[in-house]
Amino acid sequence: MADAGDTLTYRDGEPFPGRIGTTRDDSVPAWPVGPTAPDGAPNVLLVVLDDVGFAQLGCFGSDIATPNLDRLAAEGLRYRNFHTTAMCSPTRACLMTGRNHHTCAMGGITDLALGYPGYHGRIPRSCGFVAEMLRQQGWATFAVGKWHLAPSDELHAAASRQRWPLGQGFERYYGFIGAETNQYTPDLTIDNRSVRFDPPPGYHLTEDLADQAITMVDDLRAADPDKPFYLYLAFGACHAPHQAPAEFIDRYAGHFDGGWDRWRQQVFERQLAEGIMPTGSQLSPRPDWVQDWDALPDRERRLYARMMEVFAGFLTHTDHHLGRLLDHLAATGELDRTLVIALSDNGASAEGGPHGTFNENLLFNALPHDLDANLARVHQLGGPDTYGHYPWGWAMAGNTPFKRWKRETHEGGIGDPLIVRHPSIPDRGAVRHHYTHAVDVAATILDLCGVEAPAVLNGVAQDPLAGRSMAASLADPAAAEFRTTQYYEQFACRAIYHEGWKAVAFHSMGLVRYSPDDDPLRPFDQDRWELYHVAEDPSECTDLAEAMPDTLRELQDIWWREAGRYSALPLQSGRAFAEGRPSQIRDRQRFVYRAGTAPVSEEVAPNTKLRAHRIVASFAVPDGGAEGVLLAQGGRFGGYSLYLLDGVAQYTMNFAGLQETTLRAPAPLEPGNHEVVAELAPIGGLAMRAELLVDGVTVGTADIDRTAPFRFALAGEGLCCGYDDGTAVAAAYQSPFPFTGTIRDVVVEVGGSAAERRRAHAEHAWKTQ
């Protein structure tokens, strides 16, 4: 029997409020009670757009139709001085935790990790997620859409799920776990399970994500009419690939024929007229490396205009399906009890380079975009046969009136749209000018939910929040500034904001060079720092560095202080795919695959690029013959496939969707056991020699003059045995093209050092820029 002074607990340490005596008569029962949110606690809907620039929403001056986001702004507030980290994973880490991105070890995207505390890509447990904090206080927590917050080497069937959504406080998840995906044939994860997915006719991921968000809310309400929810909805739009239904794209036919210079001027005039930009703001000049639209050849103007029509259709299509969710919340009485926050994760992207591209993956292989290939596919842009991105002239325009773009720390990279809808707002539709940052979103959510960030979460001491709540500014446009200092670093581009001033330095990351003197190997101490009084010059037009050197030095000193405080050092611009990170799976040169297993991510698949290797498929052909994929990696926009077509053994290497090279046997295989081998070896540059053998006899050879040096695909199209997921590597068949015989196994044997090959890839990339 417990003494009267004893404190009784359940097994998990929760206090037991009853009494335990020797018998039931002298005992008092009590039941464990789960957490319950306070009465009247709000729902939270956090909407994150991808690569949408400051000026691309209608409510921020654009003429692209975004009526549902505009409605949110009309019923809420626009924060015109909101800032991000200039990249997706780092910004999302800030949003999810309320800490700076280097504190979260997310100095860059998860794929380009470095072996330093601020950059290794594994968010520490001391940076607890808002989802976990709210879940423990009685909220239902749902994540839908893009994640990109788990290390790229943990995106496979053998990986820990600790940093997947369900490991970070979300109770349900539906979306894609990596950086980007094909909108027509996405790689999907449900909760902790990657799924094989054969999309139905007319499928588009954005529509699916909206449906899933609605379903999660409805499922919750079917069980509990009162429990508040936290719904994180992260669309793939408008990140590449720019893909949308034709009816949304075609409504913009001819709309952008006037070009980016004229469109930019018109947007800026609307921004001034609507008070989005303060009186006295200037439009930053077009840099000389961005083409003068009027000087372009007619065929290029038509191509670039069409690429922007695709982007606009993609954005309007996304807005439409967000509107379905908002309408559903309104119809069910949820919207007015919901804090809605909508934003973009970084500025508009210039990753399409000067000409745009039909296949964004060329950039990630350090290869130039191909203007002629783009022109040849102009009528396919936006559809399933392209993986496109617009040219950087439209990125510049999308960030109006700011300089530069995504990846960089001028305002075009870090200045983004933010919309907040909440019942406390007295002057709905207004513009707020308070300086805010992505870390402040998490702090605001907790504040308006009445939840304090805990000092200890799940037994781990927590880093303090860097964010500050902007709740006071919701109710009062004259509320005091809550963020007076904020540092920035991305690919060694640096910036510091302090009390209305900003110092910023550009450093080339190397993938794209804007001018001959744009040298990624230039020492950091030779980078030129600029100085702007952004309180009066928000578009960074008047550089005061020479006129006010003391102020510049003071801000530089603050940057170094903050960089040390938040683990932003050491500086490094050029980054490969987690170069040097030790694998959690033992290194080997022989890989064995069996039919029907889940796709293997490129991170842990055998690295065959520019490396001697053999693919040995052992299988049986039944009476009547067989066909289908034996082993495939990648898809329509780059990869390889070993397969039978009409019974004939074939090997296809697809170079970036530009060139297919196929080796074929002379005749179909007879019923019985067979061994088909594809053997490749590098022969210089990007070229490889390929040989196809059937039952030990060479049936074809070819010199393939171009192969991918770094990545086959960024869209999650993994290595598959017995089928080809997503898009088809070879135009000769349609995915999934399952093998109709019996595969014993497929063995991949690689030779040479992967590290040596990576160095060769890097050397080639530098030489060919």
SS (H, E, C) 698-746: EEEEEEECCCCCCCCCCCCCCEEECCCCCCCCCCCCCCCCCCCCEEEEE
135 Cβ neighbours under 8 A, 6+ residues apart: 141, 169, 170, 171, 230
Task: Decide: 551 and 544 in contact? Cβ < 8 Å.
Answer: yes
Cα dist from 21 to 13, 29, 164, whole Å = 20, 10, 45
- Where are the alpha helices (H) located in 171-278, listed in sequence order? 205-223, 246-250, 260-273
Find the distance separating the first CA and the last CA of the chain, reported in whole Å. Answer: 79
Helix (H) or strand (E) holding 551: helix 549-565
**Cα 71 to chain centroid, rounded:** 26
According to DSSP, the residues that pair with 77 across neighbouring strands are 420, 430
Would you call 31 helix, strand, or coil by DSSP?
coil
Q: What is the DSSP letter of 499?
A: T
Distance CA 41, CA 450 (A): 8
Q: Provide the token pair at 123.
A: 């968010």
Neighbours of 337 (CB within 10 A): 14
Catalytic option among 120, 148, 156, 437: 148
Residue 148 annotated in active site? yes
Q: What is the DSSP letter of 129?
A: -
Contacts for 699-705: CB closer than 8 Å, 24+ residues apart:
699/649, 699/663, 699/664, 699/665, 699/666, 700/651, 700/663, 700/664, 700/665, 701/663, 702/661, 702/663, 704/653, 704/655, 704/661, 704/680
Cα dist from 517 to 301, 510, 520, 521, 522, whole Å = 28, 12, 9, 11, 9
Task: Decide: 720 and 728 in contact? Cβ < 8 Å.
Answer: no
Residue at token pair 């001085």? 81
According to DSSP, the residues that pair with 702 across neighbouring strands are 690
Which among 567, 613, 563, 619 is positioned nearest to 588, based on CA atoms?
Answer: 613
Catalytic option among 88, 127, 449, 720: 88
Would you call 249 helix, strand, or coil by DSSP?
helix
Cβ-based burial of 286 (10 A; exposed 0-12, middle 13-18, buried ≥19): middle
- Where are the alpha helices (H) located in 66-129, listed in sequence order? 67-74, 88-97
Strands (DSSP E) found in 422-520: 430-432, 436-437, 456-457, 460-461, 485-490, 493-498, 501-505
Residue at token pair 């990986």? 159
CB-side neighbour CA atoms (13 Å) of 696: 1
Task: Decide: 170 and 143 in contact? Cβ < 8 Å.
Answer: yes
Neighbours of 136 (CB within 10 A): 17
Neighbours of 526 (CB within 10 A): 8
Which among 682, 712, 679, 661 is positioned nearest to 610, based on CA atoms?
Answer: 682
Residue 88 annotated in active site? yes
Phi and psi for 341 in degrees, rounded to 5?
A: -125, 125
Q: What is the DSSP letter of 615?
A: E
Which among 244, 262, 511 is positioned nearest to 365, based on CA atoms?
Answer: 511
Q: Which residues are catalytic?
A: 88, 148
